Chain A
Amino acid sequence: MPEAALREPSRSSTRRQVIAPVAWGAGATLVLSVLILVGSRNLAHFDAALVGYTFSVLFATFGLTYRYAMWLQRPPTAMYWRRGWQAFLRPGWRRRNAGMWFRRVAEDVVANRFIFARNRLRGLTHMLIMWGCLIAVAITFPLVFGWLHFRPVPGDLSLYEAVAFGFPAFRFPHDSAIAFFLFHGLVWASFLVIAGVMLAVRRRMRDEGAAAVQRFAEDFMPLILLFAVSLTGLMLTASYTWMGGYAYTFIAILHAITVIGTFLWLPFGKFFHIFQRPAQLGVGFYKDAGRAQALAHCRRCGHAFSSRMHIEDLIEVEHQLGFTYEIPGDDGHYQWICPRCRRASLAMAQGALWRGRRGGTPLPDTRPLPMPVHVNPGLRQGPLGVEDADNFYP
C-alpha cells in the first residue's frame, strides 16, 4: 500500500477537493441555463412539455462536470492534462499540432479506427451506437433547450420553417421527402442504436472472455437504457402513425422516464467514457513531444526505452501517490530501469536466493549488463505493435 494511501487526508484538504468540482459543476450548469434562456428567447420558444428533459440534462451537466473535475485531481490525470496541453500549445509546433488534431479526431473519434483494429464487428457495434446517439442528441438537445423549433409559414401553409435561436433558418414543404427525413430523424437514430445494442448483447452472450469480466451495472445497464430509450421512442412513432394515438400519453411518460434515467446515469457509469476518452488526443501530442526530446536510458542495460520526459513525469506522479521506488546509489530510482531488465532482475533476485543449491555459475560481471531479449519476437509473441517494439524491443 503506498504511504500516501495510508495517510489520512486532512478535513480541510478533503473539503477543498470537493468544493472546487462542485463550483465547476454549478458554473457549467449556470452557463447552460443562461444559454437556454438566451437561445429560447427568454423561454418564448421553450416547450413546457419537455421541461423534465431540460432539468435532467441540467443535472447531468452538473454531475458530469463534477466528476470530470474530480477525475482531473488524480495525480496522473492532472499530470497528463497539463502536459497534454503544454505539448499541444508548444511554440513552433502549433500549426502541425492543429493539423494532427483534425487527423486524430477524424481517425479515432469519427471513424473509430482503433476500435475496428480491436475487432471489426466490435467497431461496427460501437459505430452504430455512437452515431445513433450523436444524431439523437443533435436533434433533441436543441429542441429541449428551445434553441430550435418549427412553425408553419404564414401565408403559405404548405411550407414549414425551422427557427434556430429565434432566427428563421430554412423552409421546406411539409409533405416533402426532406420533411419526412427530418421529422423522423429520431427514428433513424433509434434504428442505428438498436442494431448496435443487439450486436453488443450478442457479443456479451457468446464471448466467454467478455462473460468472465462483464458486470451488470457497468456493461449491461447502458445497453438496457439505450434499448429502452430507442424502443419507447419508436413506440411513440408507431402510436401516432398507425394506431391513432393509442396509449400515447402512457408511452410518452415511459419514454421520458427512460431518457431522464439515461441522463441521470451519464456521469456515473460507462457513458462517462464519452467525456473521458478525448484525453487520448492529448496523449498523442505528449508522445509526439516525447519522441522529439531526449530518451531515457536503462540504468541496467544502457538501452533507450522511453522518453526522458515521460520517466521524469512518472517519477513525480509516483512520488505524489506515495510510492517510494527510490534506490540508493547510482540507479537513483527504479523507474530508470527498463521493463525487460525489471523482469530479468526478478529472476536474478530469485536465483540469488537459490545460489549454491541449484547449480550454475554466475558469469563474469560486465557492466552494463546485456539487454534481455524476448525469446520469440516473431509469431506475435514479442512486441504487440510498433510502439511496443520501439520502446521495449529496440
Chain B
Amino acid sequence: MPVPDALEFFIDPGRCIGCQACIQACTECDTHKGQSMIQLDYVDRAHSTQTVPVVCLHCDSPTCAEVCPADAIKRTEDGIVQTARKPRCIACNNCVLACPFGVPKMQTKMNLMMKCDMCYDRTSVGLKPWCASACPSQALAFGTREEMARLRPHAKPVNTFQFGRQTIRTKVNIMVPRDAPTDIVDVTASMHEPTIGREILDDVFMERPDGGDA
C-alpha cells in the first residue's frame, strides 16, 4: 500500500533538544530491526548544545540511487526512496558519499547500505513513523499540511534545497519562517556559518567580566 498523499514528514532542526528519543524509537522499525537510521549530530560539541536530527528526505531524483553502480536503490511510486535492495547492494559507499543530506549508513559486515525508509511498514498503512511518534519537541513531525499550519502558524514547509548549482526537491519538508523571503533552503550558502549557542566557560566558578554568574 502506498503512503497516503495527505500525510507528510516535517523536520525542524531548530526544535531539536537532542534527547535521542528518535534514535531509540527508530530501532523498533521492522524494516531495519535493532538498527537506528536516524542521524543525530552535535554541530559543535565543545561550544553548543545545538543538535541536528536528519532522516532521509526522499529526493524526487535521488542522487544516491543515480550513483549506485548496482542499481540497488529504488524509489517507490509514492516517492519513498527505499533502503538498498539486499540482493543487489555491493557496499561500494557511493550512496553514502553522494547523498547531499548525509543520510545513508554503511554496514560493512553485511555488505549493505542502510537508510531511513520513513518506516515504510508503518507509513504505508497510515501510521506515523517511529521517530515522529516519539519526538517530544516534534522536531520530527508527521501529519497533514493543515495540521502543521494550525500548530505552527509562524512556519511554513519547504522542500527545495540548493547545493551549489544543484537544486534538489524532496518529499520531506523542512520548516522555515512563514514570511521567509525564499522557498529554497540554500544549504551551501550557510555551510561555513558557526553554530548557534552561548560561549561556555571552562571554569564554571570563574567570575565573568560583566559580573554575572558563569
Chain A contacts to B: CB under 8 angstroms:
1-2, 5, 71, 74, 76-77, 79-81, 108, 114-115, 117-118, 207-209, 211-213, 270, 273, 276-277, 279-280, 283, 286-287, 300, 306, 310-311, 314, 317-318, 321, 323-328, 331, 333-335, 337-354, 357-358, 360-367, 369-370, 372-376, 380-381, 383-388, 391-392
Query: Is the C-beta of B7 less than 8 angstroms from some C-beta in chain A?
Result: no
Kindly list chain A residues whose C-beta atoms are within 8 Å of the C-beta of B159.
Answer: none
* 12 extra interface residue pairs, beta carbon distance < 8 Å, beyond A115-B110, A323-B63, A365-B193: A280-B90, A310-B93, A331-B191, A339-B99, A345-B188, A348-B43, A348-B193, A353-B176, A357-B154, A360-B50, A372-B41, A391-B93
Q: Residue among B13, B51, B69, B161 with the most chain A CB within 10 A?
A: B69
| Known contacts A334-B188, A346-B101, A381-B23; A363 and B61 CB within 8 A of each other | no
Cβ of A343 and Cβ of B41 under 8 Å apart?
Answer: yes
Which of A351, A367, A381 touches B13 (beta carbons < 8 Å)? A351
Stretch at the interface among B114-122, B128-136, B202-210: B114-122
Contact of B100 among A334, A380, A384 (CB under 8 A): A334
With A352-B193, A375-B20 known to touch, is A344 a contact of B41 (CB < 8 Å)?
Answer: yes
Contact between A279 and B93 (Cβ–Cβ < 8 Å)?
A: no
- Cα-based distance from A114 to B46 in the complex (angstroms): 38
A350 and B188 contact, CB distance less than 8 A: no
User: Lowest 9 A-B CB distances belong to which pairs?
Assistant: A339-B102, A209-B30, A347-B52, A212-B121, A342-B102, A327-B164, A280-B90, A209-B31, A387-B108
Verify if B148 is at the interface (C-beta below 8 Å from A).
no
A391 and B106 within 8 A (CB): yes
- Given A279-B90, A310-B93: A384 touches B105 (CB 8 Å cut-off): yes
Smallest CB-CB separation from A81: which chain B residue? B69
Q: Specify which chain A residues have a CB less than 8 angstroms from the CB of B107 in the assembled complex.
A: 384-385, 388
Residue of A nearest to B60 (CB): A1
C-alpha spacing A350/B36, complex, angstroms = 24
Quick check: B111 and A374 within 8 Å, CB to CB?
Answer: no
Q: A362-B195, A363-B48 are in contact. Are A344 and B43 (CB under 8 A)?
A: yes
Are A361 and B61 in contact, CB atoms less than 8 angstroms apart?
no
**Cβ contacts under 8 Å, A76 to chain B:** 66-69, 94
B190 touches A349 (CB 8 A): yes
Alpha-carbon distance between A209 and B188 when the two chains are bound, in angstroms: 36
Min CB–CB distance B38 → chain A (angstroms):
8
CB atoms of A326 and B61 under 8 A apart: no
B45 close to A (CB within 8 Å)? yes
Binding site secondary structure of chain B: loop
If A213-B82, A280-B90, A351-B14 touch, whether A388 touches B192 (CB-CB below 8 Å) is: no
Q: Which of B117, B121, B197 contacts A360 (CB 8 A)?
A: B197
Enumerate chain A residues within 8 angstroms of B182, measured Cβ to Cβ: 353
**Is B32's CB within 8 Å of the partner chain A?**
yes
User: Which chain A residue shows the least CB distance to B16?
Assistant: A347
- Of the candidates A273, A331, A334, A373, which one forms a contact with B41 in the assembled complex, judged by CB atoms under 8 Å apart? A373
A276 and B86 CA atoms in complex are apart in Å by 12
With A and B bound together, what is the CA distance between A381 and B106 in angstroms?
Answer: 13
User: How many interface residues does B have (CB within 8 Å)?
Assistant: 96
Question: Is the CB–CB distance between B186 and A347 below 8 Å?
Answer: no
Q: What 1/0 flags go to B118-155 for Cβ under 8 Å of A? A: 00110010000000000000000000000000000010
Query: Across the interface, which residues of A come within 8 angstroms of B175, CB to CB?
Result: 350
Chain A contacts of B198 at CB under 8 A?
360-361
Cα separation A286 to B174 with both chains bound (whole Å): 37
Complex Cα gap A318–B99 (Å):
11
Q: Which of A79, A114, A334, A347 is within 8 Å of B111, CB to CB? A: A114
A322 to chain B, nearest CB (A): 9
Q: For A114, A349, A364, A386, which residue has the most chain B Cβ atoms within 10 angstroms?
A: A349
A346, B69: Cβ atoms closer than 8 Å: no
Q: Is B6 an interface residue (CB 8 A)?
A: no
